[in-house]
Amino acid sequence: YEILQSLPEEETNLRLYVVLQQTHVFPYLDRLRAETLIIWSKNDPTVPPDRGIKLAKLIKNSDFHLLNNAGHDVQIDQSEAVNRLIRHWTAKSPTKGN
C-alpha cells in the first residue's frame, strides 16, 4: 500500500527528470570537446540502449560501447569487460589520465 501511495510522486519526479535532461543537458552536449567513453548495457531495463546511442551522437568525441548480459549496473554485471574498456581507452588517450 505504501508503495502505491508514492507512485504519483515518483512518476512526477521521473517526468521532471526527463524535462530537466531535455532542457538543461541534451541541448549542450554537442559543445563537449573532451574525449568521452560511454559504456552501456544492451539489457538495461531502466535506461534503454537508445538513450546511450543518443548520448553518443550528441557528444561528438565519444567512444560508445554496448555490452551484453548486464542490467542497469553494467559496471558490476560486466566488471571485467568495463575495466578492460576503461584501461584500453585511457591507454590510447593523448592525456593518459592527466
Residue type, 41: S
d(CA 68, CA 44): 9
Kindly compute the dihedral angle of the four CA atoms of residues 79, 39, 45, 70, in this order, to the nearest 10 degrees: -30
Q: State residue 14 phi and psi, 5-degree precision.
A: -65, -45
Catalytic residues: 72
